[in-house]
Amino acid sequence: MPLDTLPESAEQPARTQLARIILMFFLLTFITTRIVVFLIMSRRIPDLYLHLGGTHIHHLNHGIFLLSFLGGFLLFNRPEGRILKIAAGVYGIAMALTFDEFGMWIRLGGHYWQRASVDAIGVLAALFGLIAYAPSIQKFRPRHWWSVMVVTLAVVVFFTMLAESFHYARRVMGPRLERIESNAPQ
């Protein structure tokens, strides 16, 4: 049954469930994307970026294409049930890929590691949002516990990589900033 035909009392849990799905996929995709970028930049894994003709195609473009596809799909179909939940998951993924590179919308340039603290705040805000909308512990089912374990593992790996990115930034930028400071007028 489509959401717009549900009585108001039945509509709310369906929308809340879709919001939870979107938030969870957004958080997991955002964290995974940041971890992969940290690993590529620290040269622990090979360059997995998509390159066309020597041009790096940023993952915000993947998000834009997913959002475009999903928009068309939702306009021409009335998904229900499992398909609607999958669409919510794809929406969360696409939003994370797109908004992960939000800085590029404003300013074309800058390094990934420069935004580390902003990333941390975004991840924490999404995590708190997920916790706020999670079902009560009494209503947890095995699938909820699996989700908790996956999100917890992703958050731990994310913050480990985030700490390493700060060390990288200090190593690379530290000497340059010290030179600038020492040459500054007293």
Q: What is the DSSP letter of 47?
A: -
3-state SS, residue 48: coil
**Which pLDDT tens digit goes with each residue over 86-144?**
999 999 999 888 877 766 665 555 555 455 556 665 776 777 677 666 777 777 778 77
- Pick 163 or 111 by higher pLDDT: 163
Which residue segment(s) compose the domain that 71 sits in?
A: 3-183
Structurally, the chain folds into a number of domains equal to 1
> What's the pLDDT at 153?
86
Closest CA to 94 of 74, 133, 131, 67: 67
> Percent of the chain at pLDDT above 70?
68
Q: Which two tokens stand for residue 114?
A: 């420069």
Spatial contact of 123 and 155, defined as CB atoms under 8 Å apart: yes
**Which pLDDT tens digit goes with each residue over 52-85?**
888 777 788 889 999 999 999 999 998 888 999 9
